Amino acid sequence: MNLPSDIPAAVIGASLLVSFSSLSGLFVLWIKPEKLQQIVPYLVALAVGVLLGDAFIHLIPDAVARQGSVSTVCLTTLIGVFIFLC
């Protein structure tokens, strides 16, 4: 399979960007403990949101492929989120 020469460079660049962005958590080492206690709840909320978003982005297309009905999958997802939050 012949790929244009810019695709491997883009793949490597995106991989490096994601890898280095994971190191962004190192900034907490230089934050004062008092300020860190204020920031931690927001960081935890961000982490939970990212994990839930990633799960939905990967699971919803599979559910639609198996179920066949987009509206059923979306309604079930909304009901599940509502129950989860209540």
Number of domains in the chain: 1
Quote the domain boundaries for residue 74.
26-85
pLDDT top residue among 4 and 33: 33
Chain centre distance of CA 2: 31
pTM above 0.75, yes or no: no
| Number of CB atoms found within 10 A of residue 2's CB | 4
**45 located within any domain:** yes
Length of the chain (residues): 86
In a domain, 8, yes or no: no
Asked if residue 41 is part of any domain, the answer here is: yes
For 8-18, what is each residue's pLDDT tens digit? 888 888 899 88
24-63 per-position pLDDT tens digit = 778 777 888 898 899 889 989 988 988 888 888 888 889 8
53, 36 contact by CB (below 8 A): no
